[in-house]
Amino acid sequence: MLQRETEIVFATDFSDSSHAVIPTVAQWVDTLDAKLTLLHIYDPKKTLYREAEILLRSFFAEADNYQHCDRVLMSGDPCEGIAAYCERRPNILLMLPPSDLTGLPRPWHRSLRARLIKRLSVPIWTLGRINVGDSSPSADRHIGVWLGDPEEGLSHLQQAAQYVSGTGGTLHLLHVVDEINEGSMLKPLLSTAPMGEETADAWLRDIAGTLDLDCNVEVHVAQGRVSRELPQLLRRSGADMLVLSQHSAVNRSWLGPEINPVFKRCTISLVCVPYYSRFEELHKQLAESAA
């Protein structure tokens, strides 16, 4: 997962945003001492195999200097192709850059990232957004962990704590208490999330006390709308990467899964971690198939 000897799978479409995140990919490879796989899924109806192969060979040419670097070319649907490759490899980090921003609305767009985050049982790195021409953030000394609801579990916190413990950074636990309004009386019936800032602060500190890894932990709590308060918490904490659960990262819509708008607007790195039970289920399936 977010540990050494991980395979990093960089799924690229050769877009400007794919080029922009190359420095971040390189930093992850160096930090985790990981094997790098550059993966491209091409449409055989639009592109010849030879053309796709030339594009893949020329993309991120410096990667060939790594001790372990593979370039994998597959044809078909991008979502199905990426999923098929990753589902056979549990100990990976999938890196998915965001789509290029054209400024034009895409009312019928179906998010590839959201579908893969929803489907796969591996951590997925991405960005909320990146402007074409900008480079992605690459620092990783301050790691934020979004803890929105106790029912989401702590798999993402455990993964973030392992990463911070190995890199010597600081872990920032983040929570936003909902605004008080007429609907607040129903919340205890629908969620076990804390109802006040003091309660939330105590909840996060209790969680921090359960971590048996050697890492610095800071707690940050605010009250109000998440869309307004979370960016302020991120700036206040200095977090340059946010780790969140699969449940928080993706919303359902009538067009299918979509990235939660709150996180889609973030300009820092995001790592989406699936439920722990799904990790256990995946490892069990792999053990049974190996036997």
Q: What's the distance, CA 255 to chain centroid?
A: 21
In this prediction the pTM is 0.85
Q: Mind listing the pLDDT tens digit of every residue in the chain (291 residues)?
A: 566 668 999 999 999 889 989 999 999 999 888 999 999 999 999 999 999 999 999 999 999 999 999 999 999 999 999 999 999 887 899 999 887 554 444 544 568 999 999 999 899 999 876 554 555 555 568 999 999 888 888 889 988 998 898 888 899 999 999 876 655 554 554 556 787 899 999 999 999 998 877 889 999 999 999 999 999 999 999 999 999 999 899 988 777 788 898 998 888 899 999 876 554 455 455 445 544
Beta strands in the chain (DSSP E): 7-11, 35-42, 69-75, 92-95, 124-127, 142-146, 170-177, 216-223, 241-245, 250-253, 256-259, 269-273
CATH T-level fold of 7-129: Rossmann fold (3.40.50)
Domain ranges of the chain: 7-129, 142-239
Q: What is the CATH number of domain 142-239?
A: 3.40.50.620
Look up residue 240 and give its amino acid.
D
Interatomic CA distance for residues 3 and 98, integer angstroms: 23
